[in-house]
Amino acid sequence: MGVRVGERAGAALSWLTSMEWEAPGILLHAEPFGEGDALASVLTEAQGRHRGLARGGASRRQAALWQPGNLLHLRWLGRLADQLGSFSGELIHTGAAPVLDEPLLLAMLSAACAVAEGALPERAPHPRVFAGLLRLIAELPRGAAMLAAQVRWEATLLAELGYGLDLSCCALSGARDGLAFVSPRSGRAVSEAAAGVWRARLLPLPGFLLDEEAPAGPADWRDGLRLTGHFLARDAFGQQHRPLPLARLSLYQRVAESTKE
Amino acid sequence: MGGPEIERLIAELARLPGFGPRAARRAALRLLRQPQARLMPLIAALRDAADAVRPCARCGNLDSVDPCTLCADPRRDQGLVCVVEGVGDLWALERAGVHHGLYHVLGGTLSALSGVGPEDLNAAPLLARVAAGEVREVILALPATVDGATTAHWLTDRLRPHGIAISRVAHGMPMGGALDALDDGTLAAALRARQAV
C-alpha cells in the first residue's frame, strides 16, 4: 500500500516536474539579469513567444549566442508550467552576425524582433508568424529588397492577431482591379477610381502586397511600412496602450529618408 | 548570527559583482577579524574614492581630477578618439597599451527593447568635441552585438557630416583562437574581414 501511494505521489511529482520542451526558436530579446544571466524572449512554432531565464546568457561565453535574430535549438525547463523557467540553447543559425555591418539590414532585424516581441501574446502559438520571421531572417542578407517581405510578414502578423487587412476588393465599389489605397479606419482596400476626394486621407497600397512578383522600390517599401505601421500602432500595440517600438519607428525613418535622397 | 551591523555589512558586500551571500560572509569575517589591517584601510579607501572620484566631463572616464589624467596628458594624440561602451572597456585598452589617443565613454548602448535611447547615452560631449574641430578620427570600439552595432551605426550617422575619419575595431579571430572553437558569427566576421598577405 505504502509503495502504491509512493508510486502515485512519484507519478504526480514527475508530472509536475516534467514541464519542459525542446524546439528551434528565434531569439527576440535578451536583457541582462543579475551578473551573468539573461531574461530571454524567444519565438517558437509550437510554444509561441516564450520567456525564460538563460543562465549565463549575459556572460562573455554565451553573449554571442543570445543575440536577437539567432535561431537556437532551445530547451525550456520549469518546475511548473506557469513559471518563468530556464532556457539552454545551441546555435542553429546566426541571424545577427551577417547583418551587423549593414545599417539597414540591422534596422530591419531589430524592427522585426521588436514587433514580434511587443505584439505577440505570450505562450500562444502563431506558426505562420514564426515561419515568416524565420524566412525573413534567413534571407535578410539579400538586401533592401527584403523590406517587401518584412511588410508582408507584418501584414501576416496583423492577420494572425485578428487585425488583418482586407485587400481582396475595393470597399467602396467592390472592384478587384486598380486597388491603390487602404482605408486607415477599416483596413480595407480602396481602388484608384473610387478614392475620389478621400485620396489624401487614405494610405497608399504598394503593389507588392497584392502581387509578390510586382516590382518594388524605396517609395513602395516606405508606403508598405507606413501602412502596416499604422495598423500595428493602432491595433496590435494601441490595444496594449503601448507605442510602436523605437526600432520599428527608426526603420521607417531610415527608409523614408532614403526616398528623399 | 551577529549584530545588525554585521548583517548590514554582509548585505552591502553581497550586492557587489562577484559576491554572493556566502562570499560576502567570508569577506566580512576577514575584515572584522583584522579591523586595523583590513577594515580601516578599506573604509579610508572607500571614503576617499567616494569623495574624489567623478566622471570626466570631457570623456566620461572615472578619475579624481577633471579633466581626467588621460584627457590632460599632452603626450596623447588629441585628434584620435576611441569610443567605448564603459569605463571597464577603457581600462582594458589601457592595460593593453595599444591606444595612444583619447577616449570617450558612452555609458551604454542603444537598446530599443530595454528602453535605452540616444538621450540615455553620453554622446553629446563627443559630438561637441567633433563639431569644435578637435577630432581627426573616431575609432568605434563598441561590442559586436546587435545593440553595439546599432549604436555604432547611430553614431556614424551623426559623425559623418563632420567629414572626419571613422573606423571600427575588427571582428574575428581572437589571439590563440582555434577555428573549431569559434561560433558561426565570429567565423563569418573573420572571413569577411580577411586581409591580403
Segment A212-221 shows an average pLDDT of 92
Considering only CB atoms, A110 lies closest to which of B18, B143, B150, namely B150
- Could you give the residue range(s) of every CATH 3.40.1360.10 domain in chain B? 62-168
Confidence of residue A61 (pLDDT cuts 50, 70, 90): confident
Identify the residue with better confidence: B78 or B114. B78
* Higher local confidence (pLDDT), A16 or A36: A36
Please state, for a pLDDT cut of 70, what percent of chain B lies above it.
99
Residue A39 phi/psi, 5-degree rounding, is -90, 115
Rounded alpha-carbon distances, angstroms, from residue A34 to A58, A86, B16, B26, B169: 9, 14, 11, 21, 28
As annotated, the residues of chain A forming the CATH 2.40.50.140 domain(s) are 13-94
The reply to whether residue A101 touches residue B184, judged by beta carbons under 8 angstroms, is: no
Has residue A11 got a pLDDT over 50?
no
A35: closest CA of chain B, how far (Å):
7
Q: What is the mean pLDDT of residues A232-252?
A: 95
Whether the CB-CB separation of A162 and A193 falls below 8 Å is answered with no
Q: Is A63 on the interface with B (CB under 8 A)?
A: yes
* Cβ contact B145–A107 (<8 Å): no
| Residues 98-127 of chain B whose Cβ lies under 8 A from any Cβ of chain A | 111-114, 117
Q: What is the pLDDT of residue A24?
A: 97
pLDDT at B82 over 50: yes
Kindly report the nearest CA distance between residue B190 and chain A, in angstroms: 11
Q: Could you report the per-residue pLDDT of B166-178, keeping only the tens digit for each?
A: 999 998 888 887 8
Determine the distance in angstroms separating the CA of A89 from the nearest CA of chain B, rounded to an integer.
13
User: Residue A80: what pLDDT?
Assistant: 86
What is the model's pLDDT at position B181?
80
Distances (CA, A) of A206 to A166, A169, A251, B91: 14, 15, 17, 51
Residue A235 near residue A158 (C-beta atoms within 8 A): yes
The CATH topology of domain B62-168 is Dna Topoisomerase Vi A Subunit; Chain: A, domain 2 (3.40.1360)
Residues 145-164 of B with CB under 8 A from A: 145-146, 149-150, 153, 156-157
Contacts 24+ apart (CB under 8 A), B31-40: B32/B6
B17 near A CB under 8 A:
yes
Query: Which CATH superfamily is A13-94 part of?
Result: Nucleic acid-binding proteins (2.40.50.140)
A chain contacts of residue B150, beta-carbon cutoff 8 Å? 106-107, 110
Mean pLDDT of the residues in chain B: 93
B183 at A interface, C-beta within 8 A: yes
Q: What does each C-alpha distance from B33 to A148, A196, A230, B9, B26 come to in angstroms?
A: 69, 87, 66, 14, 11
Binary contact (B112, A101; C-beta < 8 A): no
Residue B139: beta bridge partners?
Answer: B82, B167
Predicted local distance difference test score (pLDDT) of residue B173: 86
Question: Contact, A95 vs A109, CB < 8 A?
Answer: yes
The pLDDT-based confidence of B81 (bands split at 50, 70, 90) is very high
Give yes or no for A89 touching B (CB within 8 A). Answer: no
**What stretch(es) of chain B map to CATH 1.10.8.420?**
4-52
Residue-wise pLDDT for B18-54, tens only, equals 898 899 999 999 999 999 999 999 999 999 999 999 9
Closest CA in chain B for residue A60: B143
- Single-letter residue type at A169: C
Of A222, A226, A240, the closest CA to residue A161 belongs to A240
Distances (CA, A) of A46 to A20, A24, A52, A136: 13, 10, 16, 19
Q: Check A100 against B183: CB less than 8 A apart.
A: no
- Asked: is B4-52 a CATH 3.40.140.10 domain? The reply is no
Write out chain A residues lying below 8 Å of B191, CB-based. Answer: none
pLDDT in tens, A185-207: 999 999 999 998 889 999 999 99
Closest by Cα among A45, A69, A41 to A138 = A69
